[in-house]
Structure 1
Amino acid sequence: MINQRFAMLIKVQQQREEKLQAQFVKAQQFYLQSEQKYQGLAGYRTDYILQSQQQGSVGLQSRQYNQFVNFIGKLDQAILQQSKAVQQAQAAAEQRKQSWLVAQKKRKALELLVQRGEHAELIKQAKQEQKNADEYASQQFMRNRLHAEAN
């Protein structure tokens, strides 16, 4: 039957699909971690500025002010780099999701092909059984007729 011919192909496709799904899940987790890190940096920057403003209200020395500005600059750079990492992680997760969905479609198409083949085989068998039954009935009718004419 068609099912037996395609069973191995479907199994291989299903394994590929599962592998791609696992890659997508891993990429999605990495994206979420990157996003959390970005949010953490942005939150830390805001908190640092607030604390510095509170300290500045009582007065800052020029050296402290320069350290503050330099540190904010470094935080801004880290936030910018993390923002790029988040975008790359999101794009990678989306690409892996699309690959997984394509593999899923291929598997479903193979399964549908098998299902249609099995349906066609059942129809073919039913027609053959009907043909055999009709032929048997016709032969039976002819035997009965010949037997009736002979008597």
Structure 2
Amino acid sequence: MAKNQLETLLKFEKDKERACIEQLQQAENEYQQNVSRLQGVADYRLEYMRRLSQRAEQGLDSSTYSHYHAFIAKLDNASEQVEIAMKQAQALVVQCKAVWLKQRQKVQAVESLQDKRNAKLMIIANKKEQAMFDEIATQQFIRRKTS
């Protein structure tokens, strides 16, 4: 494979790797946002339960209690929805990480090929240089002998 073909392939694979990294970061951010949302809903539910407890100590009519209870049920439902979204985001993180690792292996494989190619080119260049020096030494030897 030609040197510039390897460079083009390496650039292509690195671009794909960068895209994978961006997707992974996006998935991780979404997961963290869902974790924060879940914590926020849980904190709000706890605070609302404290308010209900305080109001209950002062006395509540059944209508107010029903409203509190209905709102807490809505918070529980919201918490379940956020938990589902969080689990989906977590699964996406795992999937994106696997895709990125696979792409990273491709980049490393191309880099390895490029390194091997460069080593072969260096050996060829060194042999040519040595042959040139040998030729110069031979020419100098012949000149000295004929002089």
Shorter-chain TM-score range:
0.7 to 0.9
Deviation at 1:123, TM superposition (A): 1.1
Total equivalences in the alignment:
147
> 1:111-130 maps to which residues of 2 (within 5 A)?
111-130=111-130
RMSD: 2.2
| AA at the equivalent of 2:90 | Q
| AA at the equivalent of 2:101 | L
Deviation at 1:56, TM superposition (A): 0.3
TM-score, normalised by the number of residues in structure 2:
0.84
> CA–CA distance in 2 between the matches of 1:5 and 1:81?
49
Deviation at 1:58, TM superposition (A): 0.9
Structure 1 portions without partners, runs of 5+: none
Q: Is the 8 A contact 1:27 1:93 kept in 2?
A: yes
Deviation at 1:40, TM superposition (A): 0.9
Bigger CA radius of gyration: 1
| AA at the equivalent of 1:106 | K
> 1:40-59 maps to which residues of 2 (within 5 A)?
40-59=40-59
> CA–CA distance in 1 between the matches of 2:11 and 2:129?
33
> CA–CA distance in 2 between the matches of 1:129 and 1:67?
90
> CA–CA distance in 1 between the matches of 2:3 and 2:29?
37
TM-score, normalised by the number of residues in structure 1:
0.82
> CA–CA distance in 2 between the matches of 1:73 and 1:13?
50
> 1:57-96 maps to which residues of 2 (within 5 A)?
57-96=57-96
Structure 2 portions without partners, runs of 5+: none
* Identical columns (%): 34
SS of 2:58 mapped into structure 1: coil
Is 62-71 or 16-25 further displaced after alignment?
A: 62-71
> CA–CA distance in 1 between the matches of 2:101 and 2:3?
23
| AA at the equivalent of 1:54 | Q
| AA at the equivalent of 2:95 | Q
> CA–CA distance in 1 between the matches of 2:7 and 2:127?
26
